[in-house]
C-alpha cells in the first residue's frame, strides 16, 4: 500500500489527477441533476457533488464546472431537480455523463417542479428553486431551496467510490441511527 502525500504550495501546485484520486476516496451517492432551460429544452447531467445543507429552511447544494455547457441553462432556469439513483440505474448515470444531442430520448421521465424532468424509479427526488449560485474556484455551487421531496425506502442507492460504481452493504450489528440524529442536531 502506497500513501500519497500532496502539498498545496502555490509555487508548485499538486498533480490534479492525484488530487482527484484523493477526493475519490470519499464515497458518494450518484445523482442526475435536471432542469428545463428557458427555451424549453431538457437538460440533465450526472453529478456526485450533491450534499444536504439545512433542514430549516430545506436547502441542498451541488456544484458544476465553470466550463460545463449546461451551467448557463441551470442558472437561467432558476429551478432544478436532483434525482438520486438506485443501484439498478448505473446505466442512467453513464447515459447522462455522456455528451449527446438529446439525453432524454428513450428515458422514462415526467415533468416536475418548473418543468424539470424527473426520472422514473429514482431512489429520492429533490425539486428545488435556485436559491443562489456561489463561484468557487473552477466550479459554481448551486444552492437549492427544496420545494418538494420524495423517496423510496425499498431500493438501494448507487454509490461512486475510487472511480467505480459500488453498492451499499449494511454492516451487521451496527446501528447508526443515533449518530445520524446527533449530526442533524449539530451535536456530532
pLDDT the model gives residue 184: 63
In a domain, 2, yes or no: no
Interatomic CA distance for residues 42 and 92, integer angstroms:
15
* Strand (E) or helix (H) holding 96: helix 90-97
In a domain, 14, yes or no: no
In a domain, 19, yes or no: no
pLDDT the model gives residue 27: 81
pLDDT the model gives residue 182: 67
Location of C-alpha cell 490534479:
16
Q: What are the φ/ψ torsions at residue 136 (nearest 5 degrees)?
A: -150, 90
Domain count along the chain: 1
Q: Which of 63-67, 147-151, 158-162 has the lowest mean pLDDT?
A: 158-162
Output the CA torsion sign for 113, 118, 123, 129.
negative
Secondary structure class of 3 (helix, strand, coil): coil
Local confidence band at 174 (pLDDT 50, 70, 90 cut-offs): confident
In a domain, 147, yes or no: yes
Local confidence band at 97 (pLDDT 50, 70, 90 cut-offs): very high
CATH number for position 111: 2.30.110.10
In tens, the pLDDT along 80-93 reads: 999 999 999 999 99
pLDDT at 20 over 90: no
* Strand (E) or helix (H) holding 36: strand 31-36
Three state DSSP letters for 137-180:
CCEEEEEEEEEEEEECCCCCEEEEECCEEEECCCCCCCCCHHHH
Mean pLDDT of the chain: 90
In a domain, 5, yes or no: no
The answer, as to whether pTM is greater than 0.85, is yes
The residue range of the domain holding 112 is 27-184
| Mean of pLDDT values over 66-93 | 97
In a domain, 171, yes or no: yes
Amino acid at each position: 500500500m502506497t500513501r500519497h502525500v500532496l502539498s498545496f504550495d502555490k509555487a508548485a501546485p499538486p498533480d490534479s489527477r492525484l488530487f482527484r484520486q484523493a477526493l475519490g476516496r470519499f464515497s458518494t451517492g450518484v445523482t442526475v441533476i435536471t432542469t428545463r432551460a428557458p427555451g424549453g429544452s431538457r437538460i440533465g447531467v450526472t453529478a456526485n457533488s450533491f450534499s444536504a445543507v439545512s433542514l430549516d429552511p430545506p436547502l441542498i447544494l451541488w456544484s458544476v464546472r465553470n466550463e460545463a455547457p449546461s451551467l448557463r441553462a441551470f442558472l437561467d432556469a432558476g429551478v432544478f431537480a436532483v434525482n438520486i439513483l438506485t443501484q439498478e440505474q448505473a446505466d442512467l448515470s453513464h447515459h447522462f455523463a455522456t455528451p449527446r444531442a438529446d439525453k432524454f430520448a428513450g428515458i422514462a421521465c415526467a415533468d416536475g417542479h418548473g418543468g424539470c424532468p424527473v426520472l422514473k424509479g429514482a431512489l429520492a427526488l429533490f425539486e428545488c428553486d435556485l436559491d443562489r449560485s456561489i463561484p468557487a474556484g473552477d466550479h459554481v455551487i448551486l444552492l437549492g431551496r427544496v420545494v418538494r421531496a420524495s423517496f423510496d425506502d425499498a431500493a438501494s442507492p448507487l454509490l461512486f467510490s475510487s472511480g467505480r460504481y459500488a453498492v451499499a452493504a449494511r454492516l451487521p450489528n451496527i446501528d447508526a441511527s443515533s449518530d445520524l440524529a446527533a449530526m442533524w442536531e449539530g451535536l456530532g
